[in-house]
């Protein structure tokens, strides 16, 4: 609609007494305020991103400093530079968090602390001669950093602690279950770690659903990440569990289309494009796998390619249809 | 009373715990009925060891191995007893080992055997990709399997071969 038409419309509304001067002025003021606050929001988002980029650069600096001078630094210095920096950054974050205006800066320091803490604790344990390559020792290190960050989240409710709690919790889970797997050759089989990954990703998906119900924007962003990582991890693990002829798993090969359709259904229900994308990509991958596993030899490779190509066209249409009808709406 | 909104959080956190419980159950439940009793003798030494040990009429015999003169790397193979109840190794001398009555069968009289890790490697990027550790040994019987705590000399430790570890026999008498 042209500006002239809008103004004419307003004129006629004023003449008819439908629109008052106050209503018009209020609408104008509201729109001006929204414009200012959206500008301020994008500026504060930009500065938050820069704080965290700064945090990553500090982390890289410390890692390179220790890495380049590993042979020259004595053990105390190595621990002070890494674990000491993590503790110092945590304390800085704690001090800054006392001032509302420095809230994002405090989170940037907690972020630095979260990045350096695993490196620091690994170096401290290594110097203490505890054998950091052993999974049981890694479980112990992971449980220390996990305990610190989950307690901090429960006390201060800052999302940065929650993100690191999920990362360190995953480290603890993979290290401890990895240790259990090594204990027995009965469970030390190639499928067990795939189940390990599958279980973790189901957990990410459910946590993603839980945080999608929250009102805070950072928690909703976290839920998008959890959905993304969870669905790609789950579908990858499930297709690997299917195995390959003649050692295929009938259950996982036959149930895989059900997982794909459940993913596509969830994408429409939860309105998540990530789930739709994952469902479509893995459906294509599954068709490729099944065709090359069972039909490529009988039908011949060129005919199989034609069939797969047609299937991909069909799937692409399905994806566009689902996106238009249920997700973008 | 549990808050309904927290149910997804509780389920999400329970799933990794379920995996830990399933793994622990599949490891420790078969162990409930399995009580290995027979210790075994093994030797720790690589393929260029100066001596080789063999069993003859259930007794240990030492055989000297001849190498070309320019071979200077030959090491002494060390004899060890593995205690299956405590899960530890103890070094013993050749004279002590000679006193023992040994059984060279793969299976012990109580049905256990020493097996290698033949998993073919495991792990998925980015989490703990591990090669098959063929040098890692397990005590096995049916579904029961327990990792053996054997620390071989660094020169004879290998992920791909088990020439560092040589099973000699089950100790029947004379320990």
The pLDDT tens digits for B7-37 are: 999 999 999 999 999 999 988 888 888 889 9
Highest mean pLDDT among A49-53, A183-187, A257-261: A257-261
**Nearest CB neighbour to B16, from listed A194, A199, A213:** A199
Report CB contact under 8 Å: A193, B124. yes
First to last CA, chain A: 23
With an 8 Å Cβ cutoff, is A174 touching chain B? yes
Query: What average pLDDT score do residues A124-134 get?
Result: 91
Of residues B159 and A171, which shows the higher confidence score?
A171
Interface of B with A in 10-69 (CB under 8 A): 11-13, 15-16, 18-20, 23-24, 26-27, 30
B144-156 pLDDT, tens digit per residue, is 888 888 877 644 4
A215-255 pLDDT, tens digit per residue, is 888 899 999 999 999 999 999 999 999 988 888 888 999 99
Mean confidence (pLDDT) of chain B: 78
Q: From residue B45, give the alpha-carbon distance in Å to each of A222, A294, B157.
A: 54, 48, 9
pLDDT band, very low/low/confident/very high, at B47 (cuts 50, 70, 90) = low
The per-residue pLDDT for B29 is 87
Interface with B, mutate which of A193, A205, A233 (most B CBs under 10 A): A193
**Smallest Cα distance from A239 to chain B, Å:** 13
A289-310 pLDDT, tens digit per residue, is 988 888 877 777 788 888 888 8
Of residues B9 and B50, which shows the higher confidence score?
B9
Helix (H) / strand (E) containing A90 = helix A85-96
Mean confidence (pLDDT) of chain A: 88
Query: How many CB pairs (< 8 A) connect A and B?
Result: 106
- Res. A155: pLDDT tops 50: yes
Give the number of other CB atoms < 10 A from CB of residue B64: 8
A168-195 pLDDT, tens digit per residue, is 999 999 999 999 988 887 777 788 899 9
- Res. A84: pLDDT tops 70: yes
Question: For residue A30, what are its two tokens?
Answer: 């509201």
Q: From residue B169, give the alpha-carbon distance in Å to each of A36, A131, A307, B50, B101.
A: 84, 32, 60, 20, 9
**Smallest Cα distance from B3 to chain A, Å:** 13
d(Cα A86, Cα A83) in Å, to the nearest integer?
A: 5
pTM of the model: 0.76
d(Cα B147, Cα B129) in Å, to the nearest integer?
A: 19
Percent of chain B with pLDDT over 90: 19
The per-residue pLDDT for A153 is 95
Scanning the structure block, which residue is given the tokens 């344990």? A125
The per-residue pLDDT for B119 is 57
E strand residue ranges, B65-164: 78-83, 88-92, 101-103, 113-116, 122-124, 127-130, 137-141, 144-147
**Smallest Cα distance from B148 to chain A, Å:** 9
With beta carbons less than 8 A apart as the criterion, state whether A282 and A274 touch: no
Report CB contact under 8 Å: B5, A178. no
DSSP-derived 3-state class of residue A121: helix
Helix (H) / strand (E) containing A92 = helix A85-96
The per-residue pLDDT for B70 is 67
The per-residue pLDDT for B131 is 46
Query: Beta partners for B165?
Result: B44
Highest mean pLDDT among A9-18, A155-164, B63-72, B127-136: A155-164
First to last CA, chain B: 61
**Smallest Cα distance from A81 to chain B, Å:** 27
- Res. A24: pLDDT tops 70: yes
d(Cα A50, Cα A46) in Å, to the nearest integer?
A: 6
Tell me the chain B residues in contact with residue A171 when contact means C-beta distances shorter than 8 Å: none
Length of chain B: 175
Percent of chain A with pLDDT over 70: 96
* A38-42, A258-262, B56-60: the lowest-pLDDT one: A38-42
Query: What average pLDDT score do residues A113-134 get?
Result: 93
**Smallest Cα distance from B39 to chain A, Å:** 19
The per-residue pLDDT for B162 is 52
The per-residue pLDDT for B175 is 73
The per-residue pLDDT for A217 is 86
Helix (H) / strand (E) containing B165 = strand B165-173
Of residues A283 and B163, which shows the higher confidence score?
A283
d(Cα A234, Cα A262) in Å, to the nearest integer?
A: 12
- Res. B132: pLDDT tops 60: no
- Res. B126: pLDDT tops 50: no
Query: What average pLDDT score do residues B158-165 get?
Result: 58
Phi, psi of B146 (to 5 degrees): -130, 135
Report CB contact under 8 Å: A185, B140. yes
The per-residue pLDDT for B125 is 40
The per-residue pLDDT for B123 is 47
Sheet holding B88-92, edge to edge: B88-92, B78-83, B40-44, B165-173, B101-103
Report CB contact under 8 Å: A189, B140. no
- Res. A1: pLDDT tops 80: no
Tell me the chain A residues in contact with residue B121 when contact means C-beta distances shorter than 8 Å: 190
Query: What average pLDDT score do residues A135-140 get?
Result: 94
Query: At how many degrees (to 10) do helices A3-15 and A21-68 cross?
Result: 140
């Amino acid at each position: 609609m042209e500006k002239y038409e809008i103004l004419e419309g307003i004129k006629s509304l004023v003449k008819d007494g439908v629109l008052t001067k106050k209503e018009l002025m209020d609408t104008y003021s509201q729109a001006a305020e929204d414009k200012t606050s959206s500008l301020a929001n994008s500026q504060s988002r930009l500065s938050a991103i820069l704080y965290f980029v700064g945090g990553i650069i500090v982390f890289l600096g410390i890692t390179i400093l220790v890495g380049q001078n590993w042979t020259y630094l004595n053990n105390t210095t190595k621990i002070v530079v890494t674990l000491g920096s993590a503790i110092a950054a945590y304390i800085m974050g704690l001090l800054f968090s006392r001032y509302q205006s420095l809230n994002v800066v405090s989170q940037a320091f907690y972020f630095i602390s979260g990045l350096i803490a695993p490196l620091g604790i690994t170096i401290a344990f290594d110097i203490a001669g505890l054998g950091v390559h052993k999974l049981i020792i890694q479980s112990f290190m992971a449980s220390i950093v996990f305990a610190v960050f989950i307690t901090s989240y429960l006390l201060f409710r800052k999302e940065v602690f929650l993100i690191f709690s999920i990362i360190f919790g995953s480290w603890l889970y993979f290290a401890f279950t990895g240790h259990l797997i090594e204990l027995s050759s009965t469970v030390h089989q190639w499928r067990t770690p795939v189940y390990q990954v599958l279980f973790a990703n189901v957990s990410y998906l459910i946590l993603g659903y839980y945080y999608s119900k929250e009102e805070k924007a950072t928690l909703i962003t976290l839920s998008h990440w959890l959905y993304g990582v969870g669905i790609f991890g789950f579908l990858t693990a499930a297709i690997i569990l299917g195995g390959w002829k003649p050692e295929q798993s009938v259950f996982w090969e036959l149930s895989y289309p059900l997982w794909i359709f459940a993913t596509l259904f969830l994408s429409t229900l939860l309105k998540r494009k990530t789930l739709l994308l994952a469902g479509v990509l893995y459906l294509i991958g599954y068709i490729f796998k099944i065709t090359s596993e069972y039909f490529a030899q009988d039908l011949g490779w060129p005919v199989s390619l034609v069939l797969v190509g047609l299937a991909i066209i069909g799937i692409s249409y399905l994806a566009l249809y689902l996106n238009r009808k249920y997700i973008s709406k | 009373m549990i808050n309904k909104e927290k149910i997804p959080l509780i389920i999400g956190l329970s799933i990794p715990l379920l995996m830990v419980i399933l793994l622990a159950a599949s490891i420790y439940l078969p162990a409930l009925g399995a009580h290995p009793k027979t210790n075994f003798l093994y030797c720790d030494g690589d393929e260029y060891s100066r001596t080789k040990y063999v069993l003859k009429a259930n007794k240990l015999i030492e055989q000297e191995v001849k190498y070309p003169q320019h071979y200077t790397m030959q090491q002494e193979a060390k004899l060890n007893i593995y205690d299956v109840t405590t899960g530890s190794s103890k070094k013993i001398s050749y004279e002590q080992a000679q006193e023992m009555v040994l059984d060279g069968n793969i299976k012990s009289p109580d049905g256990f055997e020493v097996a290698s890790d033949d998993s073919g490697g495991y792990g998925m990027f980015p989490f703990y990709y591990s090669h098959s550790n063929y040098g890692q040994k397990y005590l096995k019987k049916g579904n029961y399997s327990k990792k053996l705590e054997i620390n071989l000399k660094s020169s004879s430790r290998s992920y791909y071969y088990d020439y560092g570890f040589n099973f000699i026999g089950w100790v029947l008498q004379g320990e």
